[in-house]
Structure 1
Amino acid sequence: MSEANGHMCAALLRGPGDLQLSSVARPVPQPGEVLLKVLAAGVCQTDVHIRHATDSRTPDGTILGHEIAGEIVELGAGVLEWTTGERVVVHPCWSCGKCRTCMAGRENECRATGGRLQPPMTPGVTTNGGMAAYVVAPARTLFPIGDLDPALAAPLTDAGLTPYHAIMSCRELLTPGSTVVVIGLGGLGNMALQILRALTASRIVAMDRSQGAMDASREWADAVLSSDETAVQSVLDMTGGYGADVVLDFVGIDATMQMAVEMIGRGGAIRVVGLSGGTYTFMARSAGNPLPRGVTIMCPYSGTYNDLSEVLALARAGAIRPIVNRFSLTDALSALDKLQAGEIQGRAVLVPGA
């Protein structure tokens, strides 16, 4: 699908469950925005969920893609801090920049969203994203990537940023001698292992049911376990019965949340990043409660602008490197199919020029 007469190819959500490659008008940057030629766009489980949702959680007519790397090709009015030709990534939280949480550096908790359950505007989720030849983005959301490979840089905006923020939310527990368990070793889980290895001296335990995902994680983990019925006891055995200090759940189903509760130690932290709809019933009592005292459970969201800056610094230093599988933009639907079928190790990335 070639560009002509101001149009471009894009992965367009026409309606619930109806994602198609379509020819759409090339966007024009408004004041405060830039136009990017997309160099790479990551493909995420969130995109799979959006594609198959039966409701309109994402507006009809939205171009998917929230992990974006690109080259600036046009500046909107008033944009003075950037020049054409610079290569950048786009932070996925398009916050207001002026509410009290944004001013405190918590842009992922922006309060100018219309309600307490609504996250900030997100490309590819609430507005047009990067699974296209071009995309517009607010200038304030851009981060320079220099000579980083765009296909590696794009996934850092979610697959790197989200686990980094989750880890930093309980960083004080990740001391030398502590134990951290990572459940689910897909794109985000694998990056979590790399970040933990780069930043901590904790014992890292990796868990998944996929042998391929487990094998791909051995470089960064001290122990790799199948997330089966023996996993909890294995963690308890290696910690003298006291449990892990931190459990990061990148799956988020009933079974993994229950595992996290049964293997966490007193005063520990559970961070549920996976969005698979799992539940855990909290008991407000001591007797019979499998959750030890002092444990915190959190569903972290994305990360701050400073978090992304630090993730990019880790990548530039060679401390982290996403595992990527490159597809052309015209193979976007195939990439989503493969991701849903569990055939992608690491991250699928669309490269429009490929």
Structure 2
Amino acid sequence: MRALLITGPGRTELAEVPEPVPAAGEVLLAVEATGLCGTDLHLVHDGGPESAGPLIPGHEVVGTLLELGSGVDDLRPGQRVCVDPLLACGSCRLCRAGRRNLCTRRSAVGITRPGGMAERLAVPAAACWPTTLPPERAVLAEPLACALHGVDRAGVRTGPALVLGAGAMGRLVAAALTARDGAGDPDRADAPDGTVRDVTDRPGITVADISAERVAQARDGGATACLVAELPELPVRRWDLVVDAAGSAHTVALGLARVSRGGTYLQIGVLPRGATVPFTPFDIYDNEIVVTGSRSVLCTVDRAVALLERDERVGRGLVTHRHRLEDAATAFEQLAAHVGVKHVIGAAQREERSCA
């Protein structure tokens, strides 16, 4: 089958690779769509995991089940599923404490093991969540799951919120803040009559970006958005929750300076490992500001799928570019150049396979 390989720092190659075979407890997927994000860019830039050889990237994956490995009896061929890329050991101290995403023995689809930038993919059945969503929406489940975990980490239930960065993650964080664990949480932000509230129905969520184009796209998607330069003109000067979804030293410093007294700062955007940011520790002490981080997903993919199925406005307009597998190199170049918002690769099958 065809797959995109990261063969070294800054190098990718479309190649023929052996067909994956599902082991016991695994399933084989025909990949329908794979989303790109900043993590994929870091992997290409760094050349993939050290000493791991060529890597097939892609951790935002949706596909149709082709084959079931032995012992899999709760799924059926032909189902469309979203993949939870996080695979933890389940037995270490952090796993037992419910923090599987921090497991030191964890692996991840498309990061330490083959991912979705291929025609087919074998993954554990336990990582698959069935959905009726079309592939272009289903592919948003993993990044939305990251956003939901971030909102969980912040723990802020009310008050105004500022999200820095109007890219895919920033807009999904805004949607997650609006939902407030709406997929299965008793404190969901739906109206009493059961109707789902739009992003703009919850007052006080503002998305800010330096790009006028992204601000306009966020507004088209239903978010309250403004340019970063316009923040001083808003009636709110500080926010109970500030989220950096942009991942730059500038937005981190700006975000920390915009947290209200007794507020919370959440870092969900990814900065380079060695990046540093000046801040004043006394302000954190004196204002009792909570500073926390959020990485990856944590048992939130099912909630993300439910939220996407329940409200078609969540993620609306995020997918701006669609690519064939053979054009993946172009997709990476455009993502690195901040062209568009969400790029999705669809691995068109060259040969028909039975789902029977």
Superposition TM-score tier, normalisation by shorter sequence: 0.7 to 0.9
Q: Normalization by structure 1: what TM-score?
A: 0.84
Q: Could you say which residue in structure 2 is the equivalent of 1:32?
A: 25
Change (3 A) 1:317 1:264: same
Identify which of 260, 270, 290 aligns with 2:265: 270
1:75 aligns with 2:61: no
C-alpha displacement of 1:348: 0.9
Contact 1:182 1:205 in 2 (8 A): yes
Contact 1:50 1:57 in 2 (8 A): no
Identify which of 157, 168, 183 aligns with 1:174: 157
Identify which of 85, 89, 93 aligns with 1:96: 89
Change (3 A) 1:143 1:101: farther
Q: How does 1:1-354 map to 2 (within 5 A)?
A: 8-53=1-46, 56-57=49-50, 59-99=52-92, 101-103=94-96, 105-111=98-104, 113=105, 120-145=106-131, 147-157=132-142, 159-171=143-155, 173-175=156-158, 178-199=159-180, 201-218=202-219, 219-222=221-224, 224-228=225-229, 231=231, 233-234=232-233, 238-239=235-236, 241=237, 243-277=238-272, 278-281=275-278, 283-284=280-281, 286=282, 289=283, 293-305=287-299, 307-318=300-311, 319-322=313-316, 323-324=318-319, 325-345=321-341, 347-353=342-348
Q: Normalization by structure 2: what TM-score?
A: 0.84
Contact 1:64 1:124 in 2 (8 A): yes
Q: Distance in 2 between matches of 1:292 and 1:272?
A: 20
What secondary structure is seen at the aligned counterpart in 2 of 1:46?
helix
C-alpha displacement of 1:56: 4.5
Moved more, 88-97 or 190-199: 190-199
Contact 1:193 1:217 in 2 (8 A): no
Change (3 A) 1:275 1:14: same
Letter in 2 for 1:280: V
Letter in 2 for 1:206: V
Letter in 2 for 1:279: T
Letter in 2 for 1:310: R
Q: Distance in 1 between matches of 2:329 and 2:146?
A: 24
What secondary structure is seen at the aligned counterpart in 2 of 1:62?
coil
What secondary structure is seen at the aligned counterpart in 1 of 2:42?
helix
Q: Distance in 1 between matches of 2:71 and 2:305?
A: 27
What secondary structure is seen at the aligned counterpart in 2 of 1:181?
strand
Moved more, 89-98 or 209-218: 89-98
C-alpha displacement of 1:227: 2.1
* Deviation string, structure 1 residues 193-252 (Cα, Å, up to 9, x no partner): 222334453411111111111001114333x22224x63x345xx23x5x1111111122
Letter in 1 for 2:141: L
Q: Distance in 2 between matches of 1:60 and 1:34?
A: 24
Q: Distance in 1 between matches of 2:162 and 2:78?
A: 42
C-alpha displacement of 1:105: 4.3
Identity score, percent? 30
What secondary structure is seen at the aligned counterpart in 2 of 1:63?
coil
Contact 2:8 2:46 in 1 (8 A): no
Q: Could you say which residue in structure 1 is the equivalent of 2:186?
A: none
C-alpha displacement of 1:283: 4.5
Number of aligned positions between the proteins = 323
* Deviation string, structure 1 residues 306-333 (Cα, Å, up to 9, x no partner): x221111111112513521321111111
Contact 1:50 1:58 in 2 (8 A): no
Letter in 2 for 1:271: L
Change (3 A) 1:107 1:198: same
Contact 1:252 1:276 in 2 (8 A): yes
What secondary structure is seen at the aligned counterpart in 1 of 2:260?
strand
Unaligned runs of 5+ in 2: 181-188, 190-201, 350-356
Over the aligned positions, Cα root-mean-square deviation in angstroms equals 2.2
Change (3 A) 1:12 1:270: same
Change (3 A) 1:107 1:227: same
Q: Distance in 2 between matches of 1:174 and 1:58?
A: 43
C-alpha displacement of 1:336: 1.1
Q: Could you say which residue in structure 2 is the equivalent of 1:116?
A: none
* Deviation string, structure 1 residues 55-78 (Cα, Å, up to 9, x no partner): 855833110100111111112222
Letter in 2 for 1:337: E
Q: Distance in 1 between matches of 2:87 and 2:147?
A: 19
Letter in 2 for 1:185: A
Q: Distance in 2 between matches of 1:100 and 1:72?
A: 33
C-alpha displacement of 1:92: 1.5
